[in-house]
Homo-oligomer: A and B are copies of this chain.
Amino acid sequence: MAHADEPPAEVRLPATAWAVLGILAFGEELTGYEVRQWAEHILRFFYWSPAMSQIYSELKRLEQVGYAASREVSGEDGRPRRVYAITDAGRAAASDWLAHAPVEPPALKHGPLLRVWLGHLADPDRLREVVTQHRDRSADLAAEADEARRAAAAVSGWAYPELVARWAVRYHTAERDLAARLLDDLDELVASGRAPDL
């Protein structure tokens, strides 16, 4: 019963595919490698950065469903590189996804906290070490997110990425502070003698 005027059949894609398409949606023709760099640049602060090989396969899939188009160009050195761009159908599909797809709740897998939760099986010094590392890494991430924020602020039309980068700075700063407070709680627990034994 299909006829020509129907809207295009919706393709169900994982959020990672939309993230990759989103990178293309900022308008430039990009190689898989460059998509990866963009992901590293900003996406990683709020959305797990996919592996290189997955980016290549997502790009291939996006092209198959018509949301991206690729062409082979020769780089400065004459070697061929494949660049991808979002298509009109891709832009429409992304808009539709934003407008209508149910929003998955944030998924968190917090390795350091998992360790603390099992603290009764560990040496308290090891727990301190784990949480301290997490605190310091969070501080680094906050600083890096702030750089990304400044970079976004310098580009016109990047107001939303700038907002998200601002959120990311606050998020990782909060993570740093939460880790610091957890460290205090840990110290207090050990000092009080209420820590369950190994």
**Is the pair B181, A117 in contact by a Cβ cutoff of 8 Å?**
no
Max count, chain B CB within 10 A of own CB: residue among A114, A122, A159, A178: A114
Contact pick for A121, options B43, B95, B104, B110, CB 8 Å:
B95
Q: With A178-B171, A178-B174, A181-B170 as given contacts, are A48 and B121 in contact (CB-CB < 8 Å)? A: no
Contact pick for A109, options B107, B186, B189, CB 8 Å:
B107
**Is the pair B46, A113 in contact by a Cβ cutoff of 8 Å?**
yes
User: Can you tell how many copies of this chain the complex includes?
Assistant: 2
**Is the pair B107, A103 in contact by a Cβ cutoff of 8 Å?**
no
Tell yes or no: A111 within 8 A of B by CB.
yes
Tell yes or no: A105 within 8 A of B by CB.
yes
Binding site for B on A (CB under 8 A): 15, 18-19, 22, 25, 42-43, 46-48, 91, 94-95, 98-99, 103-123, 126, 130, 133-134, 137, 157, 159-161, 163-164, 166-167, 170-171, 174-175, 178, 181-182, 185-186, 189, 194-196, 198
Q: List 9 A-B contacts (CB under 8 A).
A: A46-B108, A47-B114, A95-B121, A105-B134, A106-B111, A163-B182, A163-B186, A174-B174, A174-B178
Q: With A103-B112, A121-B25, A126-B99 as given contacts, are A170 and B178 in contact (CB-CB < 8 Å)? A: yes
Smallest CB–CB gap between A191 and chain B, Å? 12
Chain B residue numbers with a CB within 8 Å of A110 are 46-47, 106
| Cα distance A113–B98 in the bound complex, in angstroms | 11
**Is the pair B186, A118 in contact by a Cβ cutoff of 8 Å?**
no
Chain B residue numbers with a CB within 8 Å of A126 are 98-99
Contact pick for A161, options B104, B117, B163, CB 8 Å:
B117
- List the B residue with the shortest CB-CB distance to A120: B160
Chain B residue numbers with a CB within 8 Å of A166 are 185
